Structures are given as C-alpha cells and as structure tokens.
A and B are shown apart, each in its own frame.
Chain A
Amino acid sequence: MSPEFLYTLEVILNGLMAGVMYSLVALGFVLIFKASGIFNYAQGVMALFAAMTLVGIQNGQVPFSHLINAVFGTHIHGFGWTLPAFVAILLTLLVMILFAYLVERFVLKHLVNQDPIILFMATIGLAYFMEGFGDLMWGSEIKVLDVGVPQGASFWLEDFTAGWAAEGSEYYGMYIDKLDLVATVVAIALVVSLTLFSQYTKTGRALRAVADDHQAALSVGISLRKIWVIVWAIAGFVAMVAGIMWGAKSGVQFSLSLIALKALPVLILGGFTSIPGAIVGGLIIGVGEKLFEYSIGPMIGGATENWFAYVLALVFLVFRPQGLFGEKIIERV
C-alpha cells in the first residue's frame, strides 16, 4: 500500500478516536435531554468539575484552601495523603450524585413547566456557577490527572502497520495514542451498559417512560423528581468518565469545559434524543474535521478544526433538520 493511502487511513483512525471522545460528552447531553427535555449546557463543566474533584480527592487537597487561607491568613494546602485511584473515583461519584440531588432540589424543581429555552439558560447559569465553584474549591491551576490510564503511542500497532507500506518507502507505522484506544473501549462499555440498564431494569423502564411522556409517566406513579435525580446522577457519571479521559489527555484545565460546545454539533448530527446517534455523530464529526484539516486545511491556513464541525452541522441541518436519528419534527398549529 502506498504511504499516501496509509496516512489517510491514519487520519481517519485518529478522527474516529477523537470522535469517540466527543461522543462521550454528547452522551451525557442526550441522557438528560431524553429524560427531562432539558438541554444541559453545563455538561462540559460537569466533566471539568468531576475531573477536578477526582484530582483533588486523590491528592488530598483541602477544599476551598485558597479561600480559607485568604480569609483567615492560614497556610493549609493538603491533608497529606494520596488515595488509590479506585477510591477517589468512587468518592467523586458520590459527589456527583450529591450534586445531582442539589441541582434538582434547588434549581429544576422550581423550573418545572417552563419553556425549554428558559431551562437551557438556567443550565448556562449553572455552568457559570459550577465553573466558579470548582475553581474556588480546588484552585484554577492546570492539574495532572493520573488514574492509571495507559498513555503514549501504541508501539505494537506502529510495528504492525509499518509492514503494510510498500518496500523502500519511508513509512514508520501508524501513531495512535493508547489513551484513545482505552477511551474507545470505555465508550463502548458505557453505551452497552446504558442500553442494558434502560432496557432491562425497572428504573431504566421508568426513565424511558418519563422520556416518552412526562404526564403519562406521572399518572402511573413514577416520581418525576426521583427520576430527574437519577438521570442527573448518571449524566454526572458520564461526565466523570469524559472528564477522566479528557483530563488524562490534555490536563485538567478550563478548556475542558469548552468541549461542551464541541459536543453541540455532534448532537445536531445525531439528533438530541438518540444514544447511538450521539456515537455516530461524534464519529462523523471526528473523522470529518481531521480529514478536512488534513486535506484542505493547509490550503486555507489551518486550524479549521475550530469551525468545521459547526459548519458541517449547519449544512447538514439545512437538509435534515431533525438530525440523523432524531424523531421527526411534527408541527401543528
């Protein structure tokens, strides 16, 4: 095979891997949107917050230490322990569940029956709040997240693919980050378990009922408020997974919350209400933007990844306003 072809293949593969990362964020959006009709802009910040909490707990940071030091003039920084990754992840999960409960208790409960746009704005407010809160709690510096996820190039794959090129050509095999491979496996596991959960458990059935029709679900005795807490907790869990993956990849920092914006076109492509759609949409966006950057990017100055996904979504929407797998939009007067 010619190196040209192999390079393109490599770009496509890397695009797929990047797409998986987008899908991870998009998944959380879809979950909440399906169950409560809320477009949760705070999903990205939730990922950031979960990652920060994880790092903070693991390294034994004292929460709000900056604030405490500033107010009382003390110099406390850490408890002086390092927890195993597993324990830290569990504790973070607890924090996210608590968070889900608080959001329902203090925000969503009061906004039942409002327009979707109002709820959307409320989640933007929530995103701001959490961003400030997370920074205040754990400090805003860039943190290193290390929970034992393998990283670096996969040499096995590199050696394996190097043999594919034609004799004498300068091709050294494909570069694929191990982390991306792990992320792919995790994403697949996540989707499978979520699907199983929603198809075969009682709670899952209740979730689907609420997604289908709020009032009908209420009338058969499903507690909306409980379901919302559960959904937000699950979304918090997905956010944590996304936060771990992205955090391991690029460090835990503010830009992590911006992946929420990148997940929007993914949702548009996949449709807001479809879990497989979130995955397929993510893959299309990932491959599309990498291929575009590789083939056309150099001609027009590069950095096209900033906008390609949105323009793709825009063009796509003009032809299919409900997304790939979304429910058909029916409008009545």
Chain B
Amino acid sequence: MFYRQAGDFKKSYREDIQTFALRQDRRAYYVLMAIAFLVVPFFINDYWASAVLLPFLILSIAALGLNILTGYCGQVSLGTGGFMAVGAYACYKIMTSFPDLNIMIVVLLAGLVTALVGLVFGIPSLRIKGFYLAVATLAAQFFLVWLFNKVPWFYNYSASGQINAPARSMFGFNITGAEAHAPARYLFCLALVVLLAWAARNLTRGRMGRSWMAIRDMDIAAEIIGVDPLKTKLSAFAISSFYIGVAGALFFSVYLGAVEVGEVFGINQSFLVLFMIIIGGLGSIMGSFIGAAFLILVPVLLKNVMVNGFGWPTDIAAHIEFILIGGLIMLFLIVEPHGLAQLWRIAKEKLLLWPFPH
C-alpha cells in the first residue's frame, strides 16, 4: 500500500537498469547517505566509533571483497586474515617509507600490493576447486602471518614486533595516530566504503561479474561458452584481495593503530568475515553489509545486556555469545541458506503486494 511501484515509469534504458529500481528505495538510499555523511559525524564519539561504526565499515569492505571471490566467483577462501595482514603491513611500510604521501593514496596502494599477493595465491585455484581450494588458502593464511612475525623488515625492526600507525591527517584532521579525530576517522572510512561498494555493485553486474558468476555456477560449462577461467578467476582473486587489503590497511591504521599480526589477523578473522557473508548472503552486495552489521552489533549488544544488564562475569557472557552466534549461523542456514539479504528481498516483495496478495 505504502511501498509500491505504481506510477514509477522508466523512460530510458539507463533508468531501467539502475540499482534501486523503485523510487522509494532510491529515496531511502539518499536519506541514508545524507544521514551517514551529514548527521552522524556530528554525534559520533570515540566509543561509538571504536566499538561499532569503524569495525562495521571496515569489515564491510572485507566482506565485500570476500563476497566477490566466494559469493560471485565461487572460490571459497579462508585466507582473508592473511590478506588483511598484507594490507596492514603494506600500509605500514608505505606510511613509514613515504611520510608525505596522502593517507588515502597509501591505503589504496596497500590494496594494490595485496591484489598482487592475492594474484599469486590465486594461481592454484586454476587447478584446485571447492574444499580443496579452501584448505589451499589456509596456506596463505598461516604462511603470511608467520612471514610477518619472522621477518623484521616488515615491522621496521621494532623491539616489540608490533606495528604502530604514525599520525597522518587529511584536510587538517588527524585520521591515524594517537590523537585521531573520531568524525574524521569515520568519514574517511565511510567515503571508502561508499566508493568501493559502488564499484563492487557495478563490477558485479557488468561483463566481469557475469563471467565470475558463470564460473561459479559451473566452470566447465562457462569455459565451453568462452569464459576464460584464467582471466576470470585471477581477476576475482585480484579484485577481492584489493578490497580485503584496503580493509586490512584501514583496520590497522585507522581503527586499531597498533597491531600484533597473529592476534588481529589470525584464522579467526578469516572465519569472522566468512560468517559475515554467509549470514548476510553469498553473492549480494547488500548481504555483505547486513552480515557485517549483524556480527559486529550482536556481540556488542549481547555483551551490554549480559555484563552491564545482568551483571554476569565477562567469561560467561563470552561463552553465551559463542553459543548464540553458532546457533544463529545454523538457524539462518536452515531457515534461509541464502542469507539475510534474501530475507530482506522476500520481505520487500511481500510488502509490494501487501495488504492484497493475489
């Protein structure tokens, strides 16, 4: 009744293929953008930035990247943490080697470095498929983390083995370092998220995305109709790694500021991002965001309720959190294997007909 397509006429091909086909969706999107860019920065404080918004934004980028590889191209990867570490360390090395370089350029360069590394680890995917590939990507995960631990050049021979982000600013606001400005950090990440999500959306519905999906659905058939598996798989690995590398660079420089590689970019990080795209929805841009929001917000919420609300010890709260997350993953897979994005889609379709479904 309130949500409908009546009267929303498409007068050109461009209008017909736009991302938000319904006028109401478009408006909601613009409103959301306006709130995110113009309202939130004035109310954000350090707690909200560090506990909720920054991890959400940064991990959405990682989820977008993994979704391109796993959701669109069908190559399961458990090496996300390792690739994020590459992004973080590339970012650190570039920041410390070229102190005058703009932080935005540094982050994008770190993404490019990660893309190259991803390309190398993507080569086996031409022969290995499915689970086997997932295990092969574990090699990337463990090897990369080990490498960053063992080779002192990567952490500039610092005594602790940690990497610390030096202070960098844009337009006079500190984005990294100890005295970073919360709204500036937030806006910096948000700008990248919007840019990258827009790029991902258009990549996945273009020629490249179609060849990814063809490979995902059946690689032999795709090969027969003329999709080049080499180019397609490697481009998916490179682009996905670019996203993940950018996420890693942001995670290190803007979000945490100091990183110990085994802790932050371990196998758990890989699984976390994988869960995000499963819960959110494989092969869906929207799903990447929903999944990231879900897995960032739910633990914060649970912790607040159980520790601050009920006054339970933190270890019990942590255990219950594990149980709930595990249970929810199973529940979602049973109820809707295609994730929350699919539920959202179904809800919208129902709403279009509501209250008179035929």
Contacts and interface: CB of A to CB of B under 8 A. Distances in A.
A109 B132 CA distance: 26
Contacts of A71: 312
Interface stretch (B183-191, B247-255, B324-332, B347-355): B324-332
A333 interface: yes
B314 to A, nearest CB: 11
Nearest to A137: B319
B9 to A, nearest CB: 39
A25 to B, nearest CB: 14
> What are the 9 tightest A-B residue pairs by CB atom distance, in nearest-first order?
A132-B322, A129-B326, A128-B326, A125-B329, A310-B139, A132-B323, A307-B142, A301-B150, A136-B319
Given A110-B334, A310-B138, A310-B142, 7 more contacts: A107-B334, A111-B333, A125-B330, A128-B322, A128-B326, A310-B143, A318-B124
B138 A264 contact: yes
Contacts of A126: 326, 330
B221 interface: yes
B150 A300 contact: yes
Q: Which of A110, A116, A129 has the most CB of B within 10 A?
A: A129
A224 interface: no
A133 B325 CA distance: 11
B136 A314 contact: yes
Contacts of A310: 135-136, 138-139, 141-143
A98 interface: no
Interface string A292-333: 000000001111101100110110011001000000000111
B334 A127 contact: no
Contacts of B199: none
Contacts of B333: 111, 114, 118, 121-122, 125
A67 interface: yes
Interface residues of B, number: 49
Interface of A: 39, 66-67, 70-71, 107, 110-111, 114-118, 120-122, 124-133, 135-136, 140, 261, 264-265, 267-268, 272, 300-304, 306-307, 310-311, 313-314, 317-318, 321, 331-333
B127 A317 contact: yes
Contacts of A261: 138, 267
Nearest to A303: B146
Nearest to A120: B131
Interface in B35-90: 76
Given A70-B312, A318-B127, A129 B146 contact: no
Contacts of B337: 114-115, 118
22 contacts: A70-B316, A117-B76, A118-B337, A121-B274, A122-B330, A125-B329, A125-B330, A128-B323, A128-B325, A129-B322, A129-B330, A132-B320, A135-B319, A136-B319, A264-B138, A265-B138, A306-B146, A307-B139, A313-B135, A321-B128, A333-B218, A333-B221
B304 to A, nearest CB: 17
A131 to B, nearest CB: 5
Nearest to B267: A261
Contact of B132 (A66, A317, A333): A317
Nearest to B131: A39
B289 interface: no
A116 B224 CA distance: 25
A301 B220 CA distance: 43
Nearest to A266: B135
B130 interface: yes
A210 B220 CA distance: 28
B275 interface: yes
B29 interface: no
A116 B133 CA distance: 14
B172 interface: no
B206 interface: no
B271 A124 contact: yes
B326 A307 contact: no
Q: Which of A107, A121, A133, A268 has the most CB of B within 10 A?
A: A121
B129 interface: yes
B8 interface: no
B278 interface: yes
B225 to A, nearest CB: 10
B82 to A, nearest CB: 10
Q: Which of B129, B135, B142, B224 has the most CB of A within 10 A?
A: B135
Contacts of A303: 146, 149-150
B183 to A, nearest CB: 35
A294 to B, nearest CB: 17
Contacts of A121: 274, 278, 329, 333
Nearest to A132: B322
A267 B138 CA distance: 13
Contacts of B7: none
